[in-house]
Every structure is written in structure tokens, then in C-alpha cells.
Amino acid sequence: MFGGYKKIVLIACLIAISAQIKAEHTFQVFDRVLFFNGFRSLEDVADEITPLPEGFYRLSTADITTRLTEEQLSLLSGSIRLDVVVSPSCDNFDRLGHVKLVLVPKKSDSIRPVGTKSIEIARFITPFMDRHREPSYVPYTFQVNYLQHIFQDKNLRENFDFWLELRLFGVPYRAWQQIEGCYGRNCTFYGSISFTTMPAPNHELETCNVFIPLFTRVGFRNFVEGDTDTLGQTIRSIVFTVPEDLTDAQLVLITSNHGANRGGEEYIRRWHFVYLNGEEILRYRPGGLSCESFRVFNTQFNRIYHAEPLPIEYWEPWNNWCPGDVIPTRIINLGAMLAGKYKFTINVPEAEFVDQQGDFPLSLFFQGKTSGQINR
């Protein structure tokens, strides 16, 4: 009798443990926060701005930030999915969106002190959207499991507050002429962010990580001093020091090609070459995919989409990205590494930047472990 009872209890406990291990958590960070004309200051649009929820701050008309709580950080381990949702207000064109993680020293007098460390963790392109048509939103999804080693780093958690920043640089001037009810208004987009996680069971804060921010949304173009190593060449490098021997390491890279002028870099696919200490570790040519799956989100007339769907042969030669799609985050696996100095270089030798227009905004960070694996 009691043997059967113990068996039932044991099975119930195993089911409960299994459910706990597999429990999925979703929490909202940004909930339809409203952005404004990126070319105007906060003072310029003060009469239009609606108050943000407590704990949220406008850094500019295009940047909003909030601090992640300890409870939220505790959930950011194991499987981590980042979801961004954008809805149109009075910007109906394709714009860049960015999500940043910013580390602010604890007890700082400012939410953005000089020298603050930050990394870009997601980038996307808005579609051409008419706010009076459905669908009235576009979703973006990023699987970011590798960020758990930052969120769960004991040294970082003890010394820094973690802030999440959403940037949506929009401009309403076309919508003034094309979208009913938008004339004279400076509101551009609504933005939301949530995380869905399946935390690793019984995880503890990690003490074996190396984290080095390198570039965060810096300019990468051959005609601006400081955005290239050599004027006239699209090449940018940085030297960094790995302080300890590592069992596993990787670089996390984001680039996207822009410049919509005639012959602009937005419409010409270029080979990108990435080197570490002079050795090629990656080559890629952005785009080349069909944009038809994003047609549904492009509810405003534009010159990207024709009346009828087009085959891949149409899209492949020229598109670097699709309006309504994510920009790829490229993970460059490096394996075990010795302590020492390393030089990262990215080169796009065929880039022209006709009429000195366009940019390949660049983000990069390094992470490694003194024991274990990054993407376990």
C-alpha cells in the first residue's frame, strides 16, 4: 500500500521538478512607449510629449531607457528571447531601430555618466507603415542566449546597474503629406520590448567571464575621419587585450548598409571581410533574400514592392536588408584563446559611398570564458 503511495508521490515530484525546469517566463520592459521626431530636441516637442511610466527616461526624442530590476535580471539565463514590437504613429518610412544594454556604475549621480560601457544587442528596420491600415504593428525576434553570461556575471552585477535602451530615430515629414491626421505632428513610432526566458535550473552568478565592449553603433564609412583607418578606404580596426587564457570566446558583430541615393550603398551588395590579427575569420555579403514575407507589414505605398510578388531572382542581386526585418547579429566563434593583445579589422574594399552619402554603422563586443563554453 505504502509502496504505491511513495511511487505516486515520487512521480508527482518528478513532474513538478520537470515543470519547474521547463517553466517559461515572459516579462515586458517597454510597453508602447512613444518616440518623436529625431531631428528635434525634447524642448522643441515639449507640448506633444506624454509622460513616461515611472522609472523610464527620455535621453532624446529618439532614445528611451529604463533600468532592469534584480528580479528581471535573475530570469535572464538559459534560453533568452528578445522581442521588439513597433507600431506606426506619424512616420511611414523605413528607419533603423536599435536595442542597447548599458552598464552604469552603481550609485552614479547620472544615468549616463562619461565613460559608460554599452553594447548593441539588436538592430532592425521598420517597414513603410500607414497607421490607418492593418497590420498595425511589426514584430522582431532575437535569440540572445549568449547574453546570459553578461546578465549573470557576478562582478558586473555587483558593480553596475543594467539599463535597457531602445532607439527609434524617426522623421514625420513625409507622413505630414501622406498620412491622414499627421500634418504638423512630431510623434513617429510606438515601441515595445519583452523577454521570454527559460532559466537554467539552479544557476548561480558566474565568475569565469571576460567581457569587452569594442564598438557601439559607430560610423563606418570611407569619407569621414575617425570612421575609417584610412580616408578613401572602408576599413576599421581596434586593438583589445584578453586578460586571461580562455576556454571559449566569440565576437558579436552587427553591421548594416545604408545610403539610398542613386548608386547608394543601400542597393549594392558588398563583400565584408573580417580579420583577427591579420587572419580572416569571416566573410559575408549582406542581403540576398526575398523580402516578400515582409510585404504584409509594408502598408504604405513604396518603391520597394511592386503590385505583385516577385521571385527571389529579383531581390537577390541588390537588397541588403528588407523593410520590416531584423538585421543579422553575426556570432564569430573563436574557440580557446590565449591571453594577450588582438587586433580586429573589418574591411569592405569595394564600398564607394557615392556623393559621400551612406554609412555602415558598426557594433562589436567580445566575450569569453576562463572555463566552460559560451553557447552551452
Per-residue pLDDT at 10 exceeds 70: no
SS3 157: helix
CA 247 to CA 245: how far, in whole Å? Answer: 7
Q: What is the pLDDT of residues 123-182, one digit of tens each?
A: 999 999 999 999 999 999 999 999 999 999 999 999 999 999 999 999 999 999 999 999
Query: What's the grid cell of residue 47?
Result: 507640448
CA 185 to CA 202: how far, in whole Å? Answer: 51
Query: What's the grid cell of residue 299?
Result: 502598408
Per-residue pLDDT, averaged over 229-257, amounts to: 98
3-state helix, strand, coil in the chain (%, to 5): 15, 40, 45
Per-residue pLDDT at 5 exceeds 50: no
Q: What is the pLDDT of residues 55-72, one digit of tens each?
A: 999 999 999 999 999 999
Strand order in the sheet with 56-60: 56-60, 63-67, 160-168, 96-105, 117-125
Per-residue model confidence (pLDDT) at position 22: 60
CA 15 to CA 9: how far, in whole Å? Answer: 10
Per-residue pLDDT at 81 exceeds 60: yes
- pLDDT averaged over the chain? 93
Per-residue model confidence (pLDDT) at position 44: 97
Per-residue pLDDT at 21 exceeds 70: no
Per-residue model confidence (pLDDT) at position 143: 98
pLDDT tier, 199 (very low <50, low <70, confident <90, very high otherwise): confident
Per-residue model confidence (pLDDT) at position 376: 60
- Residues of the chain above pLDDT 90, percent: 90
Per-residue model confidence (pLDDT) at position 203: 77
Per-residue model confidence (pLDDT) at position 201: 77
> Distances in Å between the alpha carbon of 149 and those of 144, 145, 375?
10, 8, 9
- Tell whether pTM > 0.85: yes
Per-residue pLDDT at 329 exceeds 50: yes
- Residues of the chain above pLDDT 70, percent: 94
Per-residue pLDDT, averaged over 43-55, amounts to: 95
Per-residue pLDDT, averaged over 337-349, amounts to: 98
Per-residue pLDDT at 16 exceeds 60: no
Burial (CB < 10 A; 0-12, 13-18, 19+), residue 315, is middle
